[in-house]
Homo-oligomer: A and B are copies of this chain.
Amino acid sequence: MKHLGIFYKPELFGKAESLKELLLNEGYIVDYCESSERIKNNKVDLTIVLGGDGTFLKASHLVNNPLVGFKGGRLGFLSSYTVEEFDKFLKDLKNNNFVSDERTFLKVSDLNTFCLNEVLLVKDPDQKMVDIKISFQDGELFFHADGIMLSTPTGSTGYSLSLGGPILLPNTKAFVITPVAPQFLASRSIVIPDNEKVNIEVDKRVNLIIDGVNFGKFSKITVMKSKKKISILRPVDYDFTKSIKEKLGYGKKIL
Protein backbone atom coordinates (compact mmCIF):
# COMPACT_ATOMS: atom_id res chain seq x y z
CA MET A 1 0.00 0.00 0.00
CA LYS A 2 1.80 3.06 -1.33
CA HIS A 3 -0.93 5.43 -2.48
CA LEU A 4 -3.05 6.74 0.38
CA GLY A 5 -6.00 9.10 0.59
CA ILE A 6 -6.83 11.26 3.59
CA PHE A 7 -10.44 12.30 4.15
CA TYR A 8 -10.86 14.55 7.16
CA LYS A 9 -13.49 16.63 8.84
CA PRO A 10 -12.62 20.37 8.92
CA GLU A 11 -12.07 20.47 12.69
CA LEU A 12 -9.25 17.95 12.27
CA PHE A 13 -7.32 19.93 9.62
CA GLY A 14 -4.27 20.23 11.93
CA LYS A 15 -4.21 16.46 12.59
CA ALA A 16 -4.62 15.77 8.88
CA GLU A 17 -1.62 17.99 8.10
CA SER A 18 0.55 16.18 10.65
CA LEU A 19 -0.44 12.77 9.32
CA LYS A 20 0.19 13.86 5.72
CA GLU A 21 3.67 15.09 6.71
CA LEU A 22 4.45 11.82 8.46
CA LEU A 23 3.28 9.76 5.49
CA LEU A 24 5.15 11.85 2.88
CA ASN A 25 8.33 11.50 4.96
CA GLU A 26 7.87 7.74 4.84
CA GLY A 27 7.67 7.83 1.04
CA TYR A 28 3.91 7.37 0.58
CA ILE A 29 1.93 9.17 -2.12
CA VAL A 30 -0.83 11.08 -0.39
CA ASP A 31 -4.11 12.46 -1.75
CA TYR A 32 -5.90 14.91 0.41
CA CYS A 33 -9.53 15.85 0.76
CA GLU A 34 -11.70 17.75 3.20
CA SER A 35 -14.96 15.99 4.05
CA SER A 36 -17.14 18.73 2.55
CA GLU A 37 -15.54 18.14 -0.88
CA ARG A 38 -15.95 15.29 -3.34
CA ILE A 39 -13.01 12.89 -3.39
CA LYS A 40 -11.21 13.51 -6.70
CA ASN A 41 -9.14 10.37 -6.89
CA ASN A 42 -10.65 7.30 -5.32
CA LYS A 43 -8.16 4.90 -6.93
CA VAL A 44 -5.95 4.94 -3.85
CA ASP A 45 -4.92 1.75 -2.00
CA LEU A 46 -6.36 2.89 1.31
CA THR A 47 -8.49 5.81 2.46
CA ILE A 48 -7.67 7.20 5.91
CA VAL A 49 -10.64 8.87 7.58
CA LEU A 50 -10.13 11.46 10.32
CA GLY A 51 -13.44 12.16 12.03
CA GLY A 52 -16.41 10.52 13.69
CA ASP A 53 -18.77 7.85 12.39
CA GLY A 54 -20.52 10.53 10.31
CA THR A 55 -17.36 11.34 8.36
CA PHE A 56 -16.59 7.64 8.01
CA LEU A 57 -20.08 6.90 6.64
CA LYS A 58 -19.63 9.69 4.10
CA ALA A 59 -16.25 8.32 3.00
CA SER A 60 -17.69 4.79 2.73
CA HIS A 61 -20.17 6.08 0.15
CA LEU A 62 -17.44 7.70 -1.97
CA VAL A 63 -14.76 5.03 -2.29
CA ASN A 64 -14.41 1.31 -3.00
CA ASN A 65 -10.97 0.78 -1.47
CA PRO A 66 -10.31 -0.26 2.14
CA LEU A 67 -10.83 2.36 4.84
CA VAL A 68 -9.20 2.99 8.16
CA GLY A 69 -10.72 5.42 10.63
CA PHE A 70 -9.17 7.66 13.29
CA LYS A 71 -11.66 8.62 15.95
CA GLY A 72 -12.33 12.32 16.10
CA GLY A 73 -16.02 12.21 16.94
CA ARG A 74 -18.09 11.05 19.87
CA LEU A 75 -18.53 7.32 19.48
CA GLY A 76 -16.42 5.95 16.66
CA PHE A 77 -17.57 2.35 16.17
CA LEU A 78 -16.17 2.53 12.66
CA SER A 79 -12.82 3.96 13.76
CA SER A 80 -9.84 1.70 14.39
CA TYR A 81 -7.45 4.22 16.02
CA THR A 82 -7.62 7.50 17.89
CA VAL A 83 -5.95 10.57 16.36
CA GLU A 84 -3.24 10.14 19.04
CA GLU A 85 -2.18 6.79 17.55
CA PHE A 86 -0.52 7.86 14.25
CA ASP A 87 2.76 6.16 15.24
CA LYS A 88 1.09 2.84 16.03
CA PHE A 89 -0.78 3.08 12.72
CA LEU A 90 2.41 3.81 10.74
CA LYS A 91 4.04 0.73 12.24
CA ASP A 92 0.97 -1.42 11.41
CA LEU A 93 0.91 0.05 7.90
CA LYS A 94 4.59 -0.80 7.26
CA ASN A 95 4.06 -4.38 8.42
CA ASN A 96 0.59 -4.65 6.87
CA ASN A 97 -0.46 -5.70 10.35
CA PHE A 98 -4.22 -5.40 9.97
CA VAL A 99 -7.28 -7.60 9.98
CA SER A 100 -10.02 -6.80 7.50
CA ASP A 101 -13.45 -6.16 8.99
CA GLU A 102 -15.91 -6.61 6.08
CA ARG A 103 -19.25 -4.84 6.24
CA THR A 104 -22.28 -5.19 4.01
CA PHE A 105 -24.11 -2.32 2.33
CA LEU A 106 -27.78 -1.96 1.56
CA LYS A 107 -29.14 -0.48 -1.61
CA VAL A 108 -32.37 1.41 -1.99
CA SER A 109 -34.30 0.84 -5.22
CA ASP A 110 -34.21 3.60 -7.85
CA LEU A 111 -31.76 5.66 -5.81
CA ASN A 112 -28.16 5.71 -6.89
CA THR A 113 -26.87 5.37 -3.37
CA PHE A 114 -25.67 2.79 -0.86
CA CYS A 115 -26.28 2.48 2.81
CA LEU A 116 -23.86 1.22 5.46
CA ASN A 117 -25.86 1.94 8.62
CA GLU A 118 -29.57 2.41 8.19
CA VAL A 119 -32.50 3.45 6.04
CA LEU A 120 -35.11 5.51 7.86
CA LEU A 121 -38.53 6.59 6.67
CA VAL A 122 -39.88 9.18 9.09
CA LYS A 123 -42.65 11.79 9.16
CA ASP A 124 -42.07 15.50 9.68
CA PRO A 125 -42.43 16.69 13.30
CA ASP A 126 -45.74 18.42 12.51
CA GLN A 127 -47.11 15.59 10.38
CA LYS A 128 -49.63 13.04 11.70
CA MET A 129 -48.61 9.44 12.38
CA VAL A 130 -48.46 7.27 9.27
CA ASP A 131 -49.59 3.79 8.23
CA ILE A 132 -46.66 1.65 7.21
CA LYS A 133 -46.73 -1.69 5.39
CA ILE A 134 -43.60 -3.81 5.27
CA SER A 135 -43.54 -6.82 3.00
CA PHE A 136 -40.92 -9.40 2.19
CA GLN A 137 -40.82 -12.91 0.80
CA ASP A 138 -42.29 -14.46 3.92
CA GLY A 139 -45.12 -12.10 4.67
CA GLU A 140 -46.12 -8.61 5.65
CA LEU A 141 -46.44 -6.46 8.76
CA PHE A 142 -48.21 -3.19 9.51
CA PHE A 143 -47.31 -0.36 11.86
CA HIS A 144 -49.03 2.89 12.76
CA ALA A 145 -46.01 4.93 13.81
CA ASP A 146 -43.83 7.99 13.25
CA GLY A 147 -41.66 5.97 10.93
CA ILE A 148 -39.69 2.79 10.37
CA MET A 149 -36.00 1.93 10.37
CA LEU A 150 -34.15 -0.87 8.64
CA SER A 151 -30.61 -1.22 9.96
CA THR A 152 -27.59 -3.35 9.06
CA PRO A 153 -25.52 -5.00 11.83
CA THR A 154 -23.13 -2.02 11.38
CA GLY A 155 -25.98 0.40 12.07
CA SER A 156 -27.29 -1.63 15.01
CA THR A 157 -25.07 0.26 17.49
CA GLY A 158 -26.24 3.61 16.09
CA TYR A 159 -29.67 5.19 15.77
CA SER A 160 -31.30 1.74 15.66
CA LEU A 161 -30.09 1.17 19.24
CA SER A 162 -31.57 4.55 20.27
CA LEU A 163 -34.91 3.37 18.90
CA GLY A 164 -34.79 0.30 21.16
CA GLY A 165 -33.27 -2.22 18.75
CA PRO A 166 -30.90 -5.07 19.68
CA ILE A 167 -27.17 -5.11 18.94
CA LEU A 168 -26.15 -7.38 16.05
CA LEU A 169 -22.60 -8.78 15.85
CA PRO A 170 -21.04 -7.37 12.63
CA ASN A 171 -20.91 -10.72 10.83
CA THR A 172 -24.57 -11.59 11.47
CA LYS A 173 -26.29 -12.16 8.13
CA ALA A 174 -29.38 -10.24 9.12
CA PHE A 175 -31.07 -6.85 9.21
CA VAL A 176 -33.16 -5.41 11.98
CA ILE A 177 -36.42 -3.52 11.48
CA THR A 178 -37.63 -1.20 14.26
CA PRO A 179 -40.71 1.02 14.20
CA VAL A 180 -40.26 4.63 15.39
CA ALA A 181 -42.72 5.49 18.18
CA PRO A 182 -45.37 2.96 17.12
CA GLN A 183 -48.92 3.14 18.40
CA PHE A 184 -50.02 0.51 20.93
CA LEU A 185 -47.35 -1.95 22.03
CA ALA A 186 -45.59 -2.86 18.79
CA SER A 187 -42.25 -1.34 19.74
CA ARG A 188 -40.24 -4.56 19.56
CA SER A 189 -37.76 -5.08 16.71
CA ILE A 190 -37.87 -7.86 14.16
CA VAL A 191 -34.69 -9.46 12.80
CA ILE A 192 -34.79 -10.84 9.25
CA PRO A 193 -32.27 -12.70 7.05
CA ASP A 194 -30.18 -10.35 4.90
CA ASN A 195 -31.23 -12.06 1.68
CA GLU A 196 -34.77 -10.70 2.05
CA LYS A 197 -35.91 -7.93 -0.27
CA VAL A 198 -37.93 -5.54 1.86
CA ASN A 199 -40.71 -3.36 0.44
CA ILE A 200 -41.83 -0.47 2.58
CA GLU A 201 -45.00 1.44 1.76
CA VAL A 202 -46.24 4.46 3.68
CA ASP A 203 -49.69 6.02 3.22
CA LYS A 204 -48.13 9.51 2.97
CA ARG A 205 -44.89 10.91 1.60
CA VAL A 206 -42.29 11.01 4.38
CA ASN A 207 -38.58 11.77 4.72
CA LEU A 208 -36.16 9.14 3.46
CA ILE A 209 -32.97 9.36 5.51
CA ILE A 210 -30.08 7.14 4.42
CA ASP A 211 -27.03 7.08 6.71
CA GLY A 212 -28.13 10.43 8.10
CA VAL A 213 -28.64 12.17 4.75
CA ASN A 214 -32.15 13.31 3.73
CA PHE A 215 -33.04 12.18 0.19
CA GLY A 216 -36.43 13.93 0.13
CA LYS A 217 -39.98 12.62 0.41
CA PHE A 218 -40.97 9.09 -0.56
CA SER A 219 -43.95 6.83 0.03
CA LYS A 220 -42.56 3.56 -1.32
CA ILE A 221 -39.07 2.07 -1.35
CA THR A 222 -37.46 -1.33 -1.74
CA VAL A 223 -34.37 -2.14 0.31
CA MET A 224 -32.04 -5.10 -0.20
CA LYS A 225 -28.47 -6.19 0.36
CA SER A 226 -26.05 -4.62 -2.07
CA LYS A 227 -23.10 -6.36 -3.70
CA LYS A 228 -20.96 -3.45 -2.48
CA LYS A 229 -18.90 -4.33 0.56
CA ILE A 230 -16.41 -2.35 2.49
CA SER A 231 -13.23 -3.50 4.17
CA ILE A 232 -12.35 -1.64 7.35
CA LEU A 233 -8.74 -2.19 8.39
CA ARG A 234 -8.43 -2.96 12.11
CA PRO A 235 -5.46 -3.55 14.40
CA VAL A 236 -4.98 -7.32 14.81
CA ASP A 237 -6.29 -7.13 18.41
CA TYR A 238 -9.58 -5.52 17.30
CA ASP A 239 -12.57 -6.93 19.15
CA PHE A 240 -16.15 -5.75 18.55
CA THR A 241 -17.31 -6.73 22.05
CA LYS A 242 -14.49 -4.61 23.51
CA SER A 243 -15.81 -1.68 21.54
CA ILE A 244 -19.43 -2.04 22.75
CA LYS A 245 -18.16 -2.45 26.31
CA GLU A 246 -16.04 0.70 26.08
CA LYS A 247 -18.39 2.89 24.09
CA LEU A 248 -21.81 1.75 25.36
CA GLY A 249 -20.96 0.08 28.66
CA TYR A 250 -22.89 -2.93 27.32
CA GLY A 251 -21.63 -6.25 28.68
CA LYS A 252 -18.95 -4.50 30.72
CA LYS A 253 -17.70 -5.92 34.01
CA ILE A 254 -18.68 -3.11 36.34
CA LEU A 255 -18.06 -4.31 39.88
* Stoichiometry (number of copies): 2
A29 located at the interface, meaning its Cβ lies under 8 Å from any Cβ of chain B in the complex:
no
A188 located at the interface, meaning its Cβ lies under 8 Å from any Cβ of chain B in the complex:
yes
**Which one, B161, B173, B249, contacts A193 given CB within 8 A?**
B173
A138 located at the interface, meaning its Cβ lies under 8 Å from any Cβ of chain B in the complex:
yes
A162 vs chain B, min Cβ distance (A): 11
- B190 and A176 form a contact (CB under 8 A): no
A167 located at the interface, meaning its Cβ lies under 8 Å from any Cβ of chain B in the complex:
yes
> Residues of A within 8 Å of B, CB-based: how many?
46
| Distance A253 CA – B184 CA, assembled complex (angstroms) | 11
A97 located at the interface, meaning its Cβ lies under 8 Å from any Cβ of chain B in the complex:
no
- A139 and B173 form a contact (CB under 8 A): no
Report the stretch among A68-76, A115-123, A235-243 that lies at the interface. A235-243
A171 CB contacts on chain B under 8 angstroms? 138, 193
Contact with B along A155-191 (1 / 0, CB 8 A): 0100001000111110111101000000111101111
A118 vs chain B, min Cβ distance (A): 15
| Distance A176 CA – B173 CA, assembled complex (angstroms) | 13
| Distance A249 CA – B187 CA, assembled complex (angstroms) | 11
Report the stretch among A56-64, A140-148, A222-230 that lies at the interface. A140-148
A173 CB contacts on chain B under 8 angstroms? 173-174, 193
In the complex, 20 of the A-B residue pairs with CB atoms within 8 angstroms, ordered by the A residue number, are A134-B251, A138-B169, A138-B240, A139-B241, A139-B242, A140-B251, A142-B251, A142-B252, A142-B253, A144-B254, A153-B191, A165-B166, A166-B176, A167-B191, A169-B193, A169-B196, A171-B193, A172-B174, A172-B191, A190-B250
